[in-house]
Amino acid sequence: MVKAVGTVCVLMGCLLPVCQRLRLEREHIAQLGALAQALDGMRRRLTICAPPMEELLAYAGRTSEGTVHRFFTALRLEELEQRPFAALWDGAIRSSGLSLSREEQETLSQVGQVLGACGAEEQCDSLANAAETLRRCQTRRREALRGEGRLWYTLAASAGLLAVLILF
């Protein structure tokens, strides 16, 4: 009985970190989709009625949730007189808890350099390009997770079984 409990504990000890890593990766993939969706919503809103920046960002915050919502609510527009919008946007990227790769961060940062600084058409193009890039990153990560996830589980289970064989 003790060996059975020990075996289960060793196997779970090997599998739990893999489960945690895969859960974080799935959250990251969902976050990329939510960011792309929020940027698309902003682009549509900008095309339809060209609202002021405060209203556009408030709309994006209302229509998103989780870390994406925190990103849009972390933008402190009252500081616009002291700092440029691009700096506020980059600060919100860092402080909101978004888990982005360097490419994803640069893509989102480029949007902050265009919003409010260019005409509506350039802003819409930037939002559309960023949303498309984030969707490509999401697809790439999803495909990688599909293949690597099975590999990670197999390696963790094999390591656990090897540990069981050595220990017992």
Look up the pTM and report it. Answer: 0.80
Name the DSSP class of 114. Answer: H
**Which backbone phi and psi does 82 adopt, to 5 degrees?**
-95, -30
Residue 73 to residue 94: CA distance in whole angstroms: 13
Domain coverage including residue 30: 2-167
Q: Which of 26, 37, 36 is nearest to 142 (CA)?
A: 26
Per-residue pLDDT of the chain (168 residues; tens, 9 = 90+): 777 777 777 777 877 888 888 888 888 898 999 999 989 988 988 888 877 778 878 888 888 888 888 888 877 767 667 788 788 888 888 888 888 888 888 988 888 888 877 787 888 889 899 999 999 999 999 998 888 877 777 777 777 777 777 777
What's residue 154's pLDDT?
Answer: 79
- Exposed, middle or buried: residue 93 (CB in 10 Å: 0-12, 13-18, 19+)? buried
What's residue 47's pLDDT?
Answer: 85
Number of domains, the chain = 1
Strand (E) or helix (H) holding 122: helix 120-167
